[in-house]
Structure 1
Amino acid sequence: MVRESGFEVNLVDPLTDNLADRQRPGMRYDLSHSHGARRFRHGASTACRVTCTGGGCHASVREGDGEDVCSHGGAEAPRRYVETYWREPALRSVLTDAGWIVSEIRRCIGKPNDRWLSVRASRA
């Protein structure tokens, strides 16, 4: 969708990829790569460091309290991870500490009772 709109897009993982090669104009922080609070904090800091000043960030996280062990996929490609649920104040604090200026946090609902926080921020 982003490519179809004329933007150059690279899929990177701020937790494992070497991102020091250049600064990027923005980041869509996909939480499928960074479940768990510690991994999210580390990834948000790394993503901020490699985003140009004023560059944007979008992230979506599940709203709630605590953590769950989740497993998805099938026998051929099982996935098991810890998913952290977030409340707005804690999410805003983590992103601000990582160097992002949070401009908006919206509440969204996916499937019934599947609540998400959608964040828009820019690099300080």
Structure 2
Amino acid sequence: MMEKPLWVVAGVVTDGERVLITQRHDTEEAKGLWEFPGGKVEAGETEPEALSRELKEELDVTVEVGEFLTETLHHYPTKSVLLRSYRCRCEAGEITLHCHQAMAWVTPSELAEYVFSDADKPLVSLLREQR
């Protein structure tokens, strides 16, 4: 029997037409891949609360969590991930990378130039279609 999927949230942080993407460290499981920042939902948290906490921890910014965008269930060889993503807007703070090796502000059409983790690929497609 498959384990319960890991419940994670991702933020599509926007700045005008551009969105923020972050690159994982080469030492991590999905080394060097790009993703939308976020993380695990802890017990007792709502998804927006978890996303706000994770973006504060990872990027040192305060965000307003907006509309729900999409949900992806992806099965990796060692685990399954349920990824739910939301549009976000920075309200305060300057981005400081605490958990990633790089970041980029890109337009939806530029997303195709980056290699994303498998769980993030449906979100990339959605954003490219919405432009």
Calculate the TM-score normalised by the size of structure 1: 0.34
Larger radius of gyration: 1
